[in-house]
Structure 1
Amino acid sequence: MLKKSAVFTAPRSQESSGLLLACYQDKVAKQHIHANAAQLNTLQFLQNLLNNLLLNIAYEHASTLEKLWFKRPEACKSLYIFGGVGRGKSMLMDLFYQACPILQKRRVHFSAFMMEVHAFTHQCRQQHISDALPRLAKQIRNSVRVLCFDEFHITDIADAMILGRLFTALFELGVIVIITSNRHPNDLYQGGLQKEQFLFFIKVLENAADIVELSALEDFRLQQASTHKIHYCFPLDAYANAFIQHHFDSLTLCAPRQSVVLEIWAHHITLEAVHKGIALSSFDELCVQSLGSADYIKIASLFHTVIIANIPKLTVAMRNEAKRFVSLVDALYEHKVTLICSSAVPIIEIYTEGDGSFEFERTVSRLIEMQSARYLQTALSSRQL
């Protein structure tokens, strides 16, 4: 599942002290972000973790004689960062990840990680292996020392029951985990079935990690949003139809619209048209049928531009469709896909009540950011690599 990495030789602690602040200040100087006190406070927790981690690794690699002269550093604790959408959690974790000199590290979106976990446990069941989770934890530890999870959330009882055992094993093996989430651990599984099964995981997490709230007041993605509705059109009318047609024609040089059937993980997904990295589809095709994160990640990896027509105003009765739309937007966002769409309502009104409406706030924030000039430039740059 995970690639093996080279062994790390730790630098002196003074070389890493203040490193994250310097990286943050560089982003401010380049006007990529605005300085924010709440972010700086959270950044210090990440810096302390980095300092302590490097001291621990240096101690582990010291000779027996050197260990007689130096006191063993405090054990590293993991870090769980929570707060509202668009407050900078992922950006701060990325600063840590990029600056951390340890080669045995991995950053992964939580949905993608859980897909790997389920695939591994399924394979073990087929081979009649009963200790899948301890085995998986050892495999992860053989490859990584630091594991960064973005957008941690729990909506499935199977995931809730797995996580306690898996994370207990990871922590016991010395894996340092950094997590970003929109919710405090106590609020991760609101309204879920058999919540008592999840309480064990919460206790494990609180014992092994510092819980830090990033309490910035503003959604910084909103500040980046373009003032022009270039890639998002509402309401659904004749103009919206022309909007979708215009974008497809201009991007494909008027290529014919011929449907294509993709086979992904035994699913058959019909796309209205495909042409050289551009896919045209509809909300019904992508979110009404029973697709999952694996399907959306595959689509995001195949196409640099996705055009989605006819996104409706989602109601309480469309909870499953809303959940799939969240997974779809997450996949497109993580892969820096350019998104063009037509909808019945403005972005902030797509799904405002019902189960999962809190989690949908992240999707709203991401949809807004995906209209920004900065995101579109990043998407273009990643396409050219």
Structure 2
Amino acid sequence: MSSSTPAAPITGAAPSSLCAREPHVPAERLVAEMVPPPRFDSVRFSTYIPDPNQPSQTEAVQVLETFAAGLGGAHATGAGRRGFFGFGRAAKAPKAPSGPRGVYLDGGYGVGKTHLLASLWHATPAAPELKAFGTFVELTNLVGALGFQQTVKTLSGHRLLCIDEFELDDPGDTVLVSTLLGKLVEAGVALAATSNTLPGKLGEGRFAAADFLREIQGLSAHFRTLRIDGEDYRHRGLPEAPAPYADEQVTRAAHATEGASLDAFPELLAHLAKVHPSRYGALTDGVKAVCLTGVVPVPDQSTALRLVVLADRLYDREVPVLASGVPFDELFSEEMLKGGYRKKYFRAISRLTALARDAKRLVR
């Protein structure tokens, strides 16, 4: 018979559960929330620290500062439309410009693309309601909520549309976004986007891209590409992410942390299938920390893609994630990490690792 001292009872307020939430998000909230997320609310060009060994980072800042300055003045329509990189030159006739109508930031994970995109949004001399910022998924969700024509009408009066994490995952999205951006360019809306994939390579490995080459090339024509080289700043000079904790440690931390949620990982994955990805942000409203027990590798691609969206929303909102089970770099199978969505999965691993590091302070 063991003489060890029994564990002390778990005390503290009962944490909430993400699985108990089924948020409803009205369309007007989707539009109103098209601003840089809390993590990037205070970033500016001046707070971006270029790697001295990567001159492309300094060049990107300089180009984007010029770009933002060129978006001042009256809304660019008709004869008054300005070319993206011919700032201040009024068009001689009300015809569409021949050059790119946008800038596209391409680079690996953690080189600061979203920081720069949000800085561009903040630096553009226009009222917040005349600028929109959202992820590619949020943009397609907006079309789903408002309808295509209403989305065009809503965004056509904007000075700037920033699209983060630009990725094309199926033919329908390819045609939809190509047509939408074409309409917005005609209306004089400036475009800026980030991705881990060059514009002409969007969709590769995901579907028969050759069958939709015209649409993909049409998207590419809207952008001038800026390549940003460098290593993932989230892991530059920082300690390794903490190893997963025991179930009891996670549970105790959830009870001891005000505003924390506590869920079994498999149950949360099942719940995500019942909630539209456009509502994942609302799913985390008011949550100060996410505690997960029994993390296991995700079972299939559909589940994995939903988890990517949740990871993005948690990262945007700076919500620490404390977990037991397998480490986050074992969430996705080797086959997934070699497939067409590999860049999304690596981004999710990078972001969840950063949030796991933030969660160390929750364990006492």
Q: 1:359 and 2:341 equivalent?
A: no
Contact 1:287 1:321 in 2 (8 A): yes
| Map of 1:49 onto structure 2 | 67
Change over 3 Å in CA distance of 1:210–1:300 after alignment to 2:
same
Q: Letter of the aligned partner of 2:261 in structure 1?
A: A
**How high is the TM-score relative to the length of structure 2?**
0.72
Q: 1:245 and 2:251 equivalent?
A: yes
Quote the sequence identity (%): 23
> 1:66-145 counterparts in 2 under 5 A?
72=90, 77-103=101-127, 104-121=130-147, 133-142=148-157, 144-145=158-159
Q: 1:348 and 2:348 equivalent?
A: no
Contact 1:233 1:243 in 2 (8 A): no
Contact 1:300 1:332 in 2 (8 A): yes
How many correspondences in the alignment? 300
- How far off its partner does 1:55 sit? 6.5
CA distance in 1, matches of 2:304, 2:261: 21
Change over 3 Å in CA distance of 1:174–1:197 after alignment to 2:
farther
| Map of 1:233 onto structure 2 | 244
CA distance in 2, matches of 1:321, 1:85: 22
- How far off its partner does 1:72 sit? 2.2
- How far off its partner does 1:45 sit? 2.4
Q: Letter of the aligned partner of 2:55 in structure 1?
A: A
Change over 3 Å in CA distance of 1:213–1:343 after alignment to 2:
farther
Q: 1:222 and 2:235 equivalent?
A: yes
- How far off its partner does 1:71 sit? 5.4
CA distance in 2, matches of 1:197, 1:333: 35
Contact 2:68 2:125 in 1 (8 A): no
| Map of 1:12 onto structure 2 | none
CA distance in 2, matches of 1:192, 1:169: 25
CA distance in 2, matches of 1:199, 1:191: 13
Change over 3 Å in CA distance of 1:71–1:187 after alignment to 2:
closer
- How far off its partner does 1:310 sit? 1.6
Q: Letter of the aligned partner of 1:140 in structure 2?
A: L
- How far off its partner does 1:219 sit? 0.7
Contact 2:77 2:187 in 1 (8 A): no
Q: Point out the structure with the larger helix share.
A: 1
Q: Letter of the aligned partner of 1:183 in structure 2?
A: T
Contact 2:241 2:353 in 1 (8 A): no
CA distance in 1, matches of 2:352, 2:76: 43
Secondary structure of the 1:361 match is helix
- How far off its partner does 1:348 sit? 2.5
**How high is the TM-score relative to the length of structure 1?**
0.69
CA distance in 2, matches of 1:376, 1:139: 43
Change over 3 Å in CA distance of 1:171–1:88 after alignment to 2:
same
CA distance in 1, matches of 2:48, 2:154: 36
Q: 1:40 and 2:58 equivalent?
A: yes
Deviations 1:43-80 (A, max 9, x none): 22212322332367699999xxxxxxx95279572111
Structure 1 residue runs of 5 or longer lacking an equivalent are: 4-22, 63-69, 122-132, 235-239, 253-276, 378-385
- How far off its partner does 1:342 sit? 1.7
Q: Letter of the aligned partner of 2:151 in structure 1?
A: L
Change over 3 Å in CA distance of 1:225–1:299 after alignment to 2:
farther
Task: Report which structure shows greater RCO (CA 8 Å, sep ≥6).
Answer: 2
| Map of 2:3 onto structure 1 | none
CA distance in 1, matches of 2:61, 2:328: 31
Contact 2:77 2:188 in 1 (8 A): no
Q: Letter of the aligned partner of 2:62 in structure 1?
A: Q
